[in-house]
Structure 1
Protein backbone atom coordinates (compact mmCIF):
# COMPACT_ATOMS: atom_id res chain seq x y z
CA UNK A 1 0.00 0.00 0.00
CA UNK A 2 1.32 3.48 -0.85
CA UNK A 3 0.76 6.16 1.77
CA UNK A 4 -0.02 9.66 0.49
CA UNK A 5 0.58 12.81 2.50
CA UNK A 6 -2.15 13.57 5.04
CA UNK A 7 -4.96 15.73 3.69
CA UNK A 8 -5.63 19.06 5.39
CA UNK A 9 -8.31 19.20 8.07
CA UNK A 10 -10.42 22.13 9.17
CA UNK A 11 -9.02 22.45 12.71
CA UNK A 12 -6.54 20.72 15.08
CA UNK A 13 -9.41 18.97 16.87
CA UNK A 14 -11.05 17.70 13.67
CA UNK A 15 -10.62 14.07 12.60
CA UNK A 16 -7.25 13.57 10.93
CA UNK A 17 -7.57 12.71 7.23
CA UNK A 18 -5.11 10.33 5.57
CA UNK A 19 -5.06 9.28 1.90
CA UNK A 20 -4.06 5.81 0.72
CA UNK A 21 -3.46 3.92 -2.54
CA UNK A 22 -4.40 0.27 -2.18
CA UNK A 23 -3.13 -2.29 -4.71
CA UNK A 24 -5.50 -4.96 -6.03
CA UNK A 25 -5.04 -7.50 -8.85
CA UNK A 26 -7.13 -5.28 -11.19
CA UNK A 27 -5.64 -1.90 -10.26
CA UNK A 28 -5.10 0.58 -7.43
CA UNK A 29 -7.90 1.91 -5.25
CA UNK A 30 -7.84 5.40 -3.78
CA UNK A 31 -9.06 5.64 -0.19
CA UNK A 32 -9.26 8.30 2.49
CA UNK A 33 -9.66 7.72 6.22
CA UNK A 34 -10.75 10.16 8.92
CA UNK A 35 -9.51 9.32 12.43
CA UNK A 36 -10.81 11.30 15.42
CA UNK A 37 -8.18 12.41 17.95
CA UNK A 38 -8.30 10.21 21.05
CA UNK A 39 -9.38 13.20 23.14
CA UNK A 40 -12.43 13.66 20.92
CA UNK A 41 -13.77 10.10 21.11
CA UNK A 42 -17.31 9.99 22.46
CA UNK A 43 -19.03 7.56 24.79
CA UNK A 44 -20.08 4.66 22.58
CA UNK A 45 -17.40 5.57 20.00
CA UNK A 46 -14.03 4.03 19.27
CA UNK A 47 -13.89 0.38 18.39
CA UNK A 48 -14.41 -0.81 14.83
CA UNK A 49 -14.28 1.70 11.94
CA UNK A 50 -17.00 2.58 9.44
CA UNK A 51 -16.43 1.62 5.79
CA UNK A 52 -18.34 3.74 3.25
CA UNK A 53 -19.54 2.43 -0.14
CA UNK A 54 -20.42 5.13 -2.68
CA UNK A 55 -23.25 5.23 -5.23
CA UNK A 56 -23.23 4.60 -9.00
CA UNK A 57 -21.83 8.03 -9.90
CA UNK A 58 -19.98 8.64 -6.65
CA UNK A 59 -16.47 8.77 -5.27
CA UNK A 60 -14.71 9.87 -2.09
CA UNK A 61 -14.96 13.57 -2.96
CA UNK A 62 -18.71 13.38 -3.54
CA UNK A 63 -19.34 12.30 0.05
CA UNK A 64 -18.31 15.90 0.77
CA UNK A 65 -18.26 16.63 4.54
CA UNK A 66 -20.26 13.57 5.60
CA UNK A 67 -17.34 11.20 6.45
CA UNK A 68 -15.59 13.77 8.62
CA UNK A 69 -18.84 14.68 10.37
CA UNK A 70 -19.62 11.00 10.97
CA UNK A 71 -16.15 10.36 12.38
CA UNK A 72 -16.43 13.33 14.74
CA UNK A 73 -19.92 12.33 15.91
CA UNK A 74 -19.18 8.63 16.49
CA UNK A 75 -15.56 8.81 17.58
CA UNK A 76 -14.89 6.07 15.02
CA UNK A 77 -12.45 6.00 12.14
CA UNK A 78 -14.35 6.41 8.86
CA UNK A 79 -12.94 5.07 5.58
CA UNK A 80 -14.24 5.92 2.12
CA UNK A 81 -12.81 4.63 -1.14
CA UNK A 82 -13.25 5.04 -4.88
CA UNK A 83 -14.33 1.83 -6.54
CA UNK A 84 -12.16 0.73 -9.45
CA UNK A 85 -13.07 2.94 -12.44
CA UNK A 86 -14.24 5.83 -10.24
CA UNK A 87 -12.70 9.00 -8.85
CA UNK A 88 -8.98 8.73 -8.22
CA UNK A 89 -8.82 4.93 -8.51
CA UNK A 90 -7.41 3.26 -11.62
CA UNK A 91 -9.66 2.68 -14.66
CA UNK A 92 -11.77 -0.46 -14.67
CA UNK A 93 -10.31 -3.06 -17.06
CA UNK A 94 -13.27 -3.65 -19.37
CA UNK A 95 -17.02 -3.76 -18.93
CA UNK A 96 -18.70 -3.86 -15.54
CA UNK A 97 -19.80 -7.48 -14.88
CA UNK A 98 -23.45 -8.18 -14.19
CA UNK A 99 -22.56 -9.44 -10.67
CA UNK A 100 -20.61 -6.29 -9.82
CA UNK A 101 -22.58 -5.63 -6.59
CA UNK A 102 -21.65 -8.98 -5.07
CA UNK A 103 -18.14 -8.88 -6.56
CA UNK A 104 -17.25 -5.79 -4.53
CA UNK A 105 -17.54 -7.81 -1.32
CA UNK A 106 -15.37 -10.61 -2.72
CA UNK A 107 -12.64 -8.53 -4.31
CA UNK A 108 -12.29 -4.96 -3.04
CA UNK A 109 -13.29 -5.20 0.61
CA UNK A 110 -10.76 -7.87 1.66
CA UNK A 111 -7.98 -5.92 -0.10
CA UNK A 112 -8.95 -2.73 1.76
CA UNK A 113 -9.11 -4.53 5.09
CA UNK A 114 -5.72 -6.15 4.57
CA UNK A 115 -4.05 -2.92 3.42
CA UNK A 116 -5.43 -0.78 6.24
CA UNK A 117 -5.17 -3.39 8.99
CA UNK A 118 -8.93 -3.64 9.55
CA UNK A 119 -10.30 -6.64 11.39
CA UNK A 120 -13.93 -5.75 12.09
CA UNK A 121 -15.90 -2.89 10.49
CA UNK A 122 -19.32 -1.32 10.07
CA UNK A 123 -20.57 -1.31 6.46
CA UNK A 124 -22.39 1.86 5.37
CA UNK A 125 -23.45 2.29 1.74
CA UNK A 126 -25.39 4.81 -0.32
CA UNK A 127 -27.65 3.68 -3.21
CA UNK A 128 -25.97 0.74 -4.98
CA UNK A 129 -23.28 1.04 -2.32
CA UNK A 130 -25.95 -0.10 0.13
CA UNK A 131 -26.35 -3.29 -1.90
CA UNK A 132 -22.59 -3.75 -1.73
CA UNK A 133 -22.78 -3.28 2.03
CA UNK A 134 -25.45 -6.00 2.24
CA UNK A 135 -23.31 -8.41 0.22
CA UNK A 136 -20.29 -7.53 2.36
CA UNK A 137 -22.18 -8.24 5.59
CA UNK A 138 -23.34 -11.56 4.13
CA UNK A 139 -19.93 -12.61 2.80
CA UNK A 140 -17.85 -11.47 5.80
CA UNK A 141 -20.08 -12.07 8.85
CA UNK A 142 -17.11 -12.43 11.18
CA UNK A 143 -15.88 -8.94 10.24
CA UNK A 144 -19.06 -6.92 9.64
CA UNK A 145 -20.46 -5.81 13.02
CA UNK A 146 -23.34 -3.63 11.73
CA UNK A 147 -24.88 -2.54 8.43
CA UNK A 148 -26.32 0.85 7.47
CA UNK A 149 -27.91 1.43 4.06
CA UNK A 150 -28.80 4.90 2.75
CA UNK A 151 -31.23 5.16 -0.19
CA UNK A 152 -30.30 1.61 -1.21
CA UNK A 153 -32.10 -0.48 -3.83
CA UNK A 154 -33.19 -3.98 -2.88
CA UNK A 155 -34.56 -4.90 -6.33
CA UNK A 156 -35.13 -3.33 -9.75
CA UNK A 157 -38.34 -1.31 -9.54
CA UNK A 158 -40.21 0.66 -12.22
CA UNK A 159 -39.35 3.87 -10.35
CA UNK A 160 -35.67 2.87 -10.42
CA UNK A 161 -35.71 2.36 -14.18
CA UNK A 162 -37.64 5.59 -14.81
CA UNK A 163 -35.16 7.61 -12.74
CA UNK A 164 -32.16 6.11 -14.53
CA UNK A 165 -33.68 6.78 -17.95
CA UNK A 166 -34.15 10.45 -17.04
CA UNK A 167 -30.55 10.66 -15.81
CA UNK A 168 -29.23 8.90 -18.93
CA UNK A 169 -30.94 11.46 -21.17
CA UNK A 170 -29.44 14.27 -19.12
CA UNK A 171 -25.91 12.94 -19.57
CA UNK A 172 -26.26 13.24 -23.34
CA UNK A 173 -25.65 16.96 -22.76
CA UNK A 174 -21.89 17.70 -22.77
CA UNK A 175 -22.18 20.14 -19.88
CA UNK A 176 -23.64 17.46 -17.61
CA UNK A 177 -20.88 15.00 -18.44
CA UNK A 178 -18.33 17.77 -17.85
CA UNK A 179 -19.65 18.21 -14.29
CA UNK A 180 -19.05 14.52 -13.62
CA UNK A 181 -15.58 14.73 -15.19
CA UNK A 182 -14.53 17.08 -12.38
CA UNK A 183 -14.56 14.01 -10.12
CA UNK A 184 -13.83 11.11 -12.49
CA UNK A 185 -11.66 12.72 -15.16
CA UNK A 186 -11.58 10.89 -18.49
CA UNK A 187 -13.37 7.97 -16.83
CA UNK A 188 -16.63 9.97 -16.64
CA UNK A 189 -18.29 8.43 -19.71
CA UNK A 190 -17.43 4.94 -18.49
CA UNK A 191 -18.93 5.79 -15.09
CA UNK A 192 -22.24 6.89 -16.66
CA UNK A 193 -22.43 3.90 -18.99
CA UNK A 194 -21.53 1.45 -16.22
CA UNK A 195 -24.53 2.72 -14.28
CA UNK A 196 -27.17 3.20 -16.96
CA UNK A 197 -26.39 0.31 -19.30
CA UNK A 198 -26.09 -2.21 -16.47
CA UNK A 199 -29.29 -1.24 -14.67
CA UNK A 200 -31.30 -0.86 -17.88
CA UNK A 201 -30.14 -4.21 -19.25
CA UNK A 202 -32.85 -6.92 -19.41
CA UNK A 203 -30.32 -9.31 -17.89
CA UNK A 204 -30.26 -7.19 -14.72
CA UNK A 205 -34.04 -6.93 -14.39
CA UNK A 206 -34.37 -9.81 -11.91
CA UNK A 207 -31.54 -8.65 -9.64
CA UNK A 208 -32.30 -8.47 -5.90
CA UNK A 209 -30.39 -8.46 -2.63
CA UNK A 210 -32.79 -10.97 -1.08
CA UNK A 211 -30.44 -13.97 -0.95
CA UNK A 212 -27.59 -11.92 0.50
CA UNK A 213 -29.85 -10.16 3.01
CA UNK A 214 -31.04 -13.54 4.29
CA UNK A 215 -27.43 -14.33 5.31
CA UNK A 216 -26.85 -11.06 7.21
CA UNK A 217 -26.58 -11.61 10.97
CA UNK A 218 -25.48 -8.19 12.24
CA UNK A 219 -27.74 -5.27 13.30
CA UNK A 220 -29.25 -3.44 10.28
CA UNK A 221 -30.48 0.14 9.80
CA UNK A 222 -32.09 0.94 6.42
CA UNK A 223 -32.53 4.68 5.79
CA UNK A 224 -34.56 6.01 2.86
CA UNK A 225 -35.90 9.34 1.67
CA UNK A 226 -39.67 9.62 1.28
CA UNK A 227 -39.17 11.35 -2.10
CA UNK A 228 -36.37 9.14 -3.43
CA UNK A 229 -36.61 9.17 -7.21
CA UNK A 230 -34.85 5.80 -7.58
CA UNK A 231 -36.89 3.67 -5.21
CA UNK A 232 -40.05 3.52 -3.11
CA UNK A 233 -40.15 2.94 0.68
CA UNK A 234 -40.55 -0.76 -0.10
CA UNK A 235 -36.75 -0.93 -0.48
CA UNK A 236 -35.81 -0.07 3.13
CA UNK A 237 -38.63 -2.23 4.45
CA UNK A 238 -37.29 -5.17 2.46
CA UNK A 239 -33.73 -4.51 3.57
CA UNK A 240 -34.72 -4.15 7.23
CA UNK A 241 -36.84 -7.29 7.12
CA UNK A 242 -38.06 -8.62 10.43
CA UNK A 243 -34.80 -8.13 12.33
CA UNK A 244 -33.60 -4.68 11.25
CA UNK A 245 -34.89 -1.11 11.46
CA UNK A 246 -36.25 0.96 8.56
CA UNK A 247 -36.31 4.77 8.83
CA UNK A 248 -38.12 6.90 6.25
CA UNK A 249 -36.96 10.54 6.10
CA UNK A 250 -39.89 12.85 5.36
CA UNK A 251 -39.41 15.25 2.46
CA UNK A 252 -35.98 13.84 1.53
CA UNK A 253 -34.87 12.48 -1.84
CA UNK A 254 -32.06 10.19 -2.94
CA UNK A 255 -29.06 11.91 -1.30
CA UNK A 256 -29.69 12.33 2.44
CA UNK A 257 -26.02 13.05 3.19
CA UNK A 258 -26.39 16.29 1.20
CA UNK A 259 -30.07 17.04 1.86
CA UNK A 260 -30.13 16.51 5.65
CA UNK A 261 -26.58 15.77 6.75
CA UNK A 262 -27.14 16.75 10.40
CA UNK A 263 -30.14 14.46 10.79
CA UNK A 264 -28.41 11.59 9.01
CA UNK A 265 -25.28 11.80 11.16
CA UNK A 266 -27.40 11.88 14.31
CA UNK A 267 -29.51 8.93 13.17
CA UNK A 268 -26.51 6.74 12.32
CA UNK A 269 -24.60 7.76 15.45
CA UNK A 270 -27.51 6.87 17.68
CA UNK A 271 -27.97 3.50 15.98
CA UNK A 272 -24.30 2.58 16.26
CA UNK A 273 -24.06 3.62 19.91
CA UNK A 274 -26.64 0.97 20.74
CA UNK A 275 -25.76 -1.64 18.13
CA UNK A 276 -21.97 -1.81 18.35
CA UNK A 277 -20.29 -1.28 21.76
CA UNK A 278 -17.18 0.87 21.91
CA UNK A 279 -14.97 -2.18 22.30
CA UNK A 280 -16.72 -4.07 19.50
Structure 2
Protein backbone atom coordinates (compact mmCIF):
# COMPACT_ATOMS: atom_id res chain seq x y z
CA UNK A 1 0.00 0.00 0.00
CA UNK A 2 1.27 3.43 -0.89
CA UNK A 3 0.53 6.12 1.70
CA UNK A 4 2.07 8.93 -0.36
CA UNK A 5 -0.50 10.11 -2.91
CA UNK A 6 2.19 12.09 -4.70
CA UNK A 7 3.66 8.73 -5.79
CA UNK A 8 0.50 7.86 -7.69
CA UNK A 9 0.68 8.26 -11.45
CA UNK A 10 -2.43 9.32 -13.41
CA UNK A 11 -3.15 5.64 -14.09
CA UNK A 12 -1.82 2.42 -12.65
CA UNK A 13 -2.22 -0.25 -10.01
CA UNK A 14 -2.48 0.30 -6.27
CA UNK A 15 -2.02 -2.53 -3.78
CA UNK A 16 -4.74 -2.88 -1.16
CA UNK A 17 -4.46 -5.99 0.98
CA UNK A 18 -3.60 -8.90 -1.32
CA UNK A 19 -5.10 -7.30 -4.43
CA UNK A 20 -3.82 -4.90 -7.05
CA UNK A 21 -6.53 -2.47 -8.08
CA UNK A 22 -6.50 -0.61 -11.39
CA UNK A 23 -7.20 3.11 -11.03
CA UNK A 24 -7.22 6.48 -12.77
CA UNK A 25 -6.68 9.86 -11.17
CA UNK A 26 -8.00 12.89 -13.06
CA UNK A 27 -7.41 16.50 -12.10
CA UNK A 28 -5.77 17.97 -9.00
CA UNK A 29 -4.38 15.88 -6.16
CA UNK A 30 -5.80 15.82 -2.63
CA UNK A 31 -3.42 18.53 -1.43
CA UNK A 32 -4.84 21.00 -3.98
CA UNK A 33 -8.60 20.31 -4.14
CA UNK A 34 -11.33 18.04 -2.79
CA UNK A 35 -11.43 14.53 -4.24
CA UNK A 36 -14.42 12.71 -5.67
CA UNK A 37 -14.00 8.93 -5.31
CA UNK A 38 -16.05 6.94 -7.84
CA UNK A 39 -17.38 3.47 -6.95
CA UNK A 40 -18.70 1.52 -9.92
CA UNK A 41 -21.75 -0.65 -10.55
CA UNK A 42 -22.01 -4.44 -10.36
CA UNK A 43 -20.65 -4.91 -13.89
CA UNK A 44 -18.52 -1.79 -13.91
CA UNK A 45 -14.84 -0.94 -14.07
CA UNK A 46 -12.66 2.09 -14.66
CA UNK A 47 -13.47 2.05 -18.37
CA UNK A 48 -17.27 1.68 -18.07
CA UNK A 49 -17.44 5.24 -16.72
CA UNK A 50 -16.32 6.36 -20.21
CA UNK A 51 -15.50 10.09 -20.17
CA UNK A 52 -17.65 10.87 -17.14
CA UNK A 53 -14.70 11.12 -14.67
CA UNK A 54 -12.93 13.59 -16.97
CA UNK A 55 -16.08 15.69 -17.43
CA UNK A 56 -16.74 15.57 -13.70
CA UNK A 57 -13.25 16.86 -12.89
CA UNK A 58 -13.57 19.62 -15.47
CA UNK A 59 -17.03 20.70 -14.29
CA UNK A 60 -16.24 20.74 -10.57
CA UNK A 61 -12.53 21.53 -10.35
CA UNK A 62 -12.20 18.54 -8.00
CA UNK A 63 -9.79 15.67 -8.36
CA UNK A 64 -11.49 12.43 -9.41
CA UNK A 65 -10.24 9.01 -8.37
CA UNK A 66 -11.85 5.99 -10.03
CA UNK A 67 -10.88 2.35 -9.51
CA UNK A 68 -11.94 -1.17 -10.44
CA UNK A 69 -12.82 -3.43 -7.54
CA UNK A 70 -11.10 -6.80 -7.22
CA UNK A 71 -12.45 -9.17 -9.87
CA UNK A 72 -13.22 -6.35 -12.31
CA UNK A 73 -11.42 -4.66 -15.19
CA UNK A 74 -7.64 -4.82 -14.93
CA UNK A 75 -7.63 -5.44 -11.18
CA UNK A 76 -6.66 -8.73 -9.56
CA UNK A 77 -9.13 -11.61 -9.98
CA UNK A 78 -11.28 -12.72 -7.06
CA UNK A 79 -12.49 -16.07 -5.80
CA UNK A 80 -15.99 -17.27 -6.68
CA UNK A 81 -18.66 -17.45 -5.50
CA UNK A 82 -18.67 -14.01 -3.98
CA UNK A 83 -20.06 -13.85 -0.43
CA UNK A 84 -23.58 -12.43 -0.43
CA UNK A 85 -22.41 -9.55 1.76
CA UNK A 86 -19.73 -8.58 -0.79
CA UNK A 87 -20.82 -4.92 -0.87
CA UNK A 88 -20.56 -4.57 2.90
CA UNK A 89 -17.16 -6.27 2.86
CA UNK A 90 -15.94 -3.83 0.20
CA UNK A 91 -17.11 -0.90 2.31
CA UNK A 92 -15.57 -2.18 5.53
CA UNK A 93 -12.41 -3.94 4.35
CA UNK A 94 -11.31 -2.14 1.16
CA UNK A 95 -12.58 1.44 1.13
CA UNK A 96 -10.89 2.53 4.42
CA UNK A 97 -7.33 1.50 3.43
CA UNK A 98 -7.93 2.69 -0.13
CA UNK A 99 -8.86 6.21 1.00
CA UNK A 100 -5.77 6.29 3.21
CA UNK A 101 -3.54 4.99 0.43
CA UNK A 102 -4.58 7.71 -2.02
CA UNK A 103 -4.07 10.44 0.56
CA UNK A 104 -7.76 11.34 0.70
CA UNK A 105 -8.14 14.55 2.74
CA UNK A 106 -11.66 15.78 2.01
CA UNK A 107 -14.29 15.31 -0.61
CA UNK A 108 -17.12 13.12 -1.80
CA UNK A 109 -17.97 9.47 -2.35
CA UNK A 110 -19.94 8.94 -5.55
CA UNK A 111 -21.34 5.47 -6.11
CA UNK A 112 -23.38 4.00 -8.95
CA UNK A 113 -25.74 1.05 -8.27
CA UNK A 114 -23.68 -1.47 -6.23
CA UNK A 115 -21.13 1.32 -5.77
CA UNK A 116 -23.84 3.47 -4.22
CA UNK A 117 -24.61 0.69 -1.77
CA UNK A 118 -20.93 0.41 -0.87
CA UNK A 119 -20.56 4.17 -0.40
CA UNK A 120 -23.67 4.24 1.81
CA UNK A 121 -22.40 1.43 4.03
CA UNK A 122 -19.06 3.20 4.42
CA UNK A 123 -20.66 6.51 5.38
CA UNK A 124 -23.11 4.74 7.66
CA UNK A 125 -20.50 2.75 9.57
CA UNK A 126 -17.54 5.14 9.72
CA UNK A 127 -17.54 8.61 11.19
CA UNK A 128 -15.09 9.84 8.56
CA UNK A 129 -15.11 13.63 8.69
CA UNK A 130 -13.12 13.73 5.45
CA UNK A 131 -16.27 12.68 3.56
CA UNK A 132 -18.27 15.88 3.27
CA UNK A 133 -21.05 14.71 0.95
CA UNK A 134 -22.45 11.53 -0.60
CA UNK A 135 -23.70 11.14 -4.18
CA UNK A 136 -25.72 8.07 -5.14
CA UNK A 137 -26.60 7.18 -8.74
CA UNK A 138 -29.39 4.56 -8.92
CA UNK A 139 -28.41 2.97 -5.59
CA UNK A 140 -29.81 -0.19 -3.96
CA UNK A 141 -30.56 -0.65 -0.26
CA UNK A 142 -32.71 -3.77 -0.57
CA UNK A 143 -33.67 -6.20 -3.31
CA UNK A 144 -36.76 -5.72 -5.47
CA UNK A 145 -38.63 -7.98 -7.89
CA UNK A 146 -37.85 -5.73 -10.85
CA UNK A 147 -34.14 -6.02 -10.11
CA UNK A 148 -34.24 -9.81 -9.94
CA UNK A 149 -36.22 -9.95 -13.21
CA UNK A 150 -33.77 -7.66 -15.03
CA UNK A 151 -30.71 -9.54 -13.81
CA UNK A 152 -32.28 -12.89 -14.71
CA UNK A 153 -32.76 -11.62 -18.27
CA UNK A 154 -29.14 -10.44 -18.49
CA UNK A 155 -28.02 -13.79 -17.10
CA UNK A 156 -30.00 -15.52 -19.86
CA UNK A 157 -28.23 -13.61 -22.66
CA UNK A 158 -24.74 -13.60 -21.13
CA UNK A 159 -23.45 -16.26 -23.50
CA UNK A 160 -25.26 -14.71 -26.45
CA UNK A 161 -22.87 -11.84 -27.17
CA UNK A 162 -22.99 -9.99 -23.87
CA UNK A 163 -19.88 -11.78 -22.63
CA UNK A 164 -17.85 -10.47 -25.57
CA UNK A 165 -19.08 -6.92 -25.00
CA UNK A 166 -18.16 -7.08 -21.32
CA UNK A 167 -14.78 -8.59 -22.15
CA UNK A 168 -13.76 -5.23 -23.63
CA UNK A 169 -13.87 -3.82 -20.10
CA UNK A 170 -12.95 -6.84 -17.99
CA UNK A 171 -10.58 -8.94 -20.11
CA UNK A 172 -9.70 -12.17 -18.34
CA UNK A 173 -11.86 -11.07 -15.40
CA UNK A 174 -15.07 -11.15 -17.43
CA UNK A 175 -16.50 -14.37 -15.95
CA UNK A 176 -15.36 -13.39 -12.48
CA UNK A 177 -17.09 -10.03 -12.80
CA UNK A 178 -20.33 -11.35 -14.26
CA UNK A 179 -20.77 -14.53 -12.26
CA UNK A 180 -19.77 -12.82 -9.01
CA UNK A 181 -22.49 -10.23 -9.56
CA UNK A 182 -25.32 -12.18 -11.20
CA UNK A 183 -25.02 -15.31 -9.06
CA UNK A 184 -25.14 -13.21 -5.89
CA UNK A 185 -28.19 -11.16 -6.87
CA UNK A 186 -30.04 -14.25 -8.14
CA UNK A 187 -29.27 -16.36 -5.07
CA UNK A 188 -32.50 -17.16 -3.15
CA UNK A 189 -31.00 -15.85 0.09
CA UNK A 190 -30.28 -12.49 -1.54
CA UNK A 191 -34.00 -11.75 -1.73
CA UNK A 192 -33.70 -10.73 1.92
CA UNK A 193 -30.63 -8.53 1.44
CA UNK A 194 -31.14 -5.16 3.14
CA UNK A 195 -28.67 -2.44 4.21
CA UNK A 196 -31.14 0.17 5.46
CA UNK A 197 -29.65 -0.10 8.95
CA UNK A 198 -26.37 1.20 7.54
CA UNK A 199 -28.14 3.89 5.57
CA UNK A 200 -29.58 5.14 8.86
CA UNK A 201 -26.02 5.97 9.98
CA UNK A 202 -25.40 8.39 7.10
CA UNK A 203 -25.15 11.93 8.44
CA UNK A 204 -23.75 13.91 5.50
CA UNK A 205 -25.75 15.76 2.82
CA UNK A 206 -26.78 13.27 0.17
CA UNK A 207 -27.75 13.54 -3.49
CA UNK A 208 -29.71 10.74 -5.15
CA UNK A 209 -29.94 10.65 -8.96
CA UNK A 210 -32.31 8.06 -10.40
CA UNK A 211 -33.88 7.57 -13.82
CA UNK A 212 -37.63 7.33 -14.11
CA UNK A 213 -37.11 4.31 -16.39
CA UNK A 214 -34.69 2.50 -14.05
CA UNK A 215 -35.20 -1.21 -14.70
CA UNK A 216 -33.37 -2.24 -11.51
CA UNK A 217 -35.01 -0.11 -8.85
CA UNK A 218 -38.16 1.82 -7.96
CA UNK A 219 -38.89 5.01 -6.07
CA UNK A 220 -38.79 2.90 -2.90
CA UNK A 221 -34.99 3.20 -3.00
CA UNK A 222 -35.21 7.02 -2.97
CA UNK A 223 -37.78 6.94 -0.20
CA UNK A 224 -35.40 4.82 1.88
CA UNK A 225 -32.80 7.59 1.66
CA UNK A 226 -35.33 10.23 2.66
CA UNK A 227 -36.56 8.07 5.51
CA UNK A 228 -33.23 7.13 7.05
CA UNK A 229 -30.53 9.72 6.28
CA UNK A 230 -30.38 12.34 9.02
CA UNK A 231 -28.78 15.04 6.84
CA UNK A 232 -30.46 16.97 3.99
CA UNK A 233 -31.34 14.82 0.98
CA UNK A 234 -31.53 16.16 -2.57
CA UNK A 235 -33.21 14.12 -5.31
CA UNK A 236 -32.88 14.37 -9.09
CA UNK A 237 -35.46 12.07 -10.71
CA UNK A 238 -34.66 12.18 -14.42
CA UNK A 239 -36.94 11.65 -17.41
CA UNK A 240 -35.81 9.44 -20.30
CA UNK A 241 -33.23 7.78 -18.07
CA UNK A 242 -32.61 4.18 -17.10
CA UNK A 243 -30.24 2.66 -14.57
CA UNK A 244 -27.15 4.61 -15.66
CA UNK A 245 -27.80 8.36 -15.28
CA UNK A 246 -24.19 9.26 -16.05
CA UNK A 247 -24.59 7.59 -19.46
CA UNK A 248 -28.28 8.09 -20.25
CA UNK A 249 -28.49 11.73 -19.11
CA UNK A 250 -24.89 12.77 -18.60
CA UNK A 251 -25.45 16.54 -18.84
CA UNK A 252 -28.40 16.49 -16.45
CA UNK A 253 -26.44 14.30 -14.04
CA UNK A 254 -23.43 16.62 -14.12
CA UNK A 255 -25.70 19.65 -13.60
CA UNK A 256 -27.31 18.00 -10.56
CA UNK A 257 -23.91 17.12 -9.10
CA UNK A 258 -22.48 20.59 -9.71
CA UNK A 259 -25.49 22.28 -8.07
CA UNK A 260 -25.33 19.89 -5.12
CA UNK A 261 -21.63 20.49 -4.55
CA UNK A 262 -22.13 24.26 -4.73
CA UNK A 263 -25.04 24.27 -2.28
Same fold (TM over 0.5): yes
Q: Distance in 2 between matches of 1:34 and 1:240?
A: 32
**1:105 aligned residue (83, 91, 115):** 91
Provide the residue aligned with 1:169 in structure 2. 156
Q: Distance in 2 between matches of 1:4 and 1:91?
A: 24
Structure 2: give runs of 5+ residues left out of the alignment. none
Conservation of the 8 A alpha-carbon contact between 2:80 and 2:180: no
Provide the residue aligned with 2:207 in structure 1. 221
Q: Distance in 2 between matches of 1:64 and 1:81?
A: 13
Conservation of the 8 A alpha-carbon contact between 1:221 and 1:240: no
Matched, 1:22 2:14: yes
Q: Distance in 2 between matches of 1:249 and 1:136?
A: 26
Tell me the TM-score normalised to structure 1 length: 0.85
Matched, 1:244 2:244: no
Provide the residue aligned with 2:250 in structure 1. 261
> What is the alpha-carbon root mean square deviation over aligned residues?
1.9
Tell me the TM-score normalised to structure 2 length: 0.91
Q: Secondary structure at the match of 2:256?
A: helix
Aligned length: 254
> What does the per-residue CA deviation read over 1:120-158, in whole Å, with 9 as the maximum and x for residues that have no partner?
331111111110110111123223211111011121001
Select the structure that is richer in helix: 2
Q: Distance in 1 between matches of 2:150 and 2:44?
A: 16
Conservation of the 8 A alpha-carbon contact between 1:222 and 1:240: no
Structure 1: give runs of 5+ residues left out of the alignment. 7-17, 38-45, 275-280
Residues 163 and 94 (structure 1 numbering): CA distance in 2 closer, same or farther, change over 3 Å?
closer
Conservation of the 8 A alpha-carbon contact between 2:34 and 2:62: yes
Provide the residue aligned with 1:56 in structure 2. 42
Matched, 1:188 2:180: no
